[in-house]
Amino acid sequence: MRFFVAGIMQGSRQDEDICDQDYRTAIREIILASYPDAEVICPFDLYPDSVGYGYERGKETFLVMAHRAREADFLVAYLPEASMGTAIEMWQAYGAGARILTISPMSDNWVVKFLSHRVFASIEEFADFVAHDGVGELVAREQPPSTSSGLNEQGMGTTEVVLDEQIADLLSQRGLTLAVAESCTGGLLGHRITNFSGSSDYFQGGVISYSNEAKESLLGVPHETLVQHGAVSEETALAMARGARRLLGTDLAVSITGIAGPTGGTPEKPVGLTYIGLAAEDAGWVEKHIWRGDRSQNKEQSAEAALRLLVKYLRG
């Protein structure tokens, strides 16, 4: 399970305008005491000095964390008072189908009331809920809240359950087959897809083309493309996806090529730059992302984004 502790731009300030950040440690300890294998994502851990960021870095941090909120199974919001940043993360997570657990005295606040699956008056009440497997019971009993399908793709979209399961259902329903071509993720995308039982019905296989030579010889990426545009480029991502589709004879193929870091970046192509391609019959799409995490986080975000692109295509 993946938990996101909400609150984007709290930073390291400890003055009267910013509440104490110790609650984040308490929430993490409460979760891990009952679910030791859970992943707990906290913006304060990743960006402890964010309040002091300039405009460009602050904007990037804000957008990255809003996106990370969408990737969680549970979002935990601590709201002793109104917070626009936390409200935005709650809305992002809500739109992605996550379950929202809110610790706040503001039970009548519309954001708290309408977006939360559970509202707790205190951290102690939240701790008791987690200790008695309230999280597990919530998963078993409740479906994620419904949202309007007419909202935009930046986090306001249709309800989502676990991506792996969505892909399984959508590919099976449409009778389509899938292949993957990976570079910087080193097989993580294939791992995610094959984590779901029954994936052999639609998943044909994948190619880990880490070197340029492998991209050329296995996937048929043109040498000129690699020379002119580089391994990390829109053109290479699309050529990789088309090559995997052709090689494995599938209806669809998804590719990932990027710079996971911490080395390898340049001013033109910074660490975290990633291109994700999708190839179908006579059509192709590429998304560009710039992640701001460490190597492992960049790889995870790339695989997650590739799955989301696939779901977006399959939904039409």
The CATH number linked to 220 is 3.90.950.20
Give the CATH number for residue 113. Answer: 3.40.50.450
The pLDDT assigned to 152 comes to 34
Quote the number of domains for the chain. Answer: 2
Task: Report residue 290: phi and psi, to 5°.
Answer: -130, 105
Quick check: 13 pLDDT over 80? no
Angstrom distance (rounded) from CA 292 to CA 64: 7
CA distance linking residue 27 with residue 78, whole number of Å: 9
Do 202 and 101 belong to one domain? no
Model confidence at 157: pLDDT above 50:
no
Say yes or no: 6 and 129 in one domain: yes
For the chain, percent of residues with pLDDT exceeding 90 = 51
* Whole-prediction pTM: 0.54
> Is residue 52 domain-shared with residue 168, that is, in the same domain?
no
The CA distance from 220 to 170, in Å, is: 29
Under 8 Å CB-to-CB from 53, ≥6 apart: which residues?
A: 11, 47, 61
Are 229 and 128 part of one and the same domain? no
Please identify, among 108, 141, 174, the residue that sits at the C-terminal boundary of a domain. 141
269 vs 233: CA distance, rounded Å = 9
Contact between 85 and 61 (Cβ < 8 Å): no
* Domain, as residue range, for 234: 163-315
- Copy the structure tokens of residue 61: 């941090």
Q: Is 157 a domain residue?
A: no
Question: What would the pLDDT profile of 132-150 be if each residue is shown by its tens digit?
Answer: 888 887 776 554 333 333 3
Based on the domain organization, do 177 and 296 belong to the same domain?
Answer: yes
State yes or no: cis peptide before 262, omega within 30 of 0. yes
Do residues 85 and 111 lie in contact, with contact meaning Cβ atoms separated by under 8 Å? no
Task: Map tokens 């975000």 to a residue.
Answer: 301
pLDDT in tens, 204-241: 999 999 999 999 999 999 999 999 999 999 999 999 99
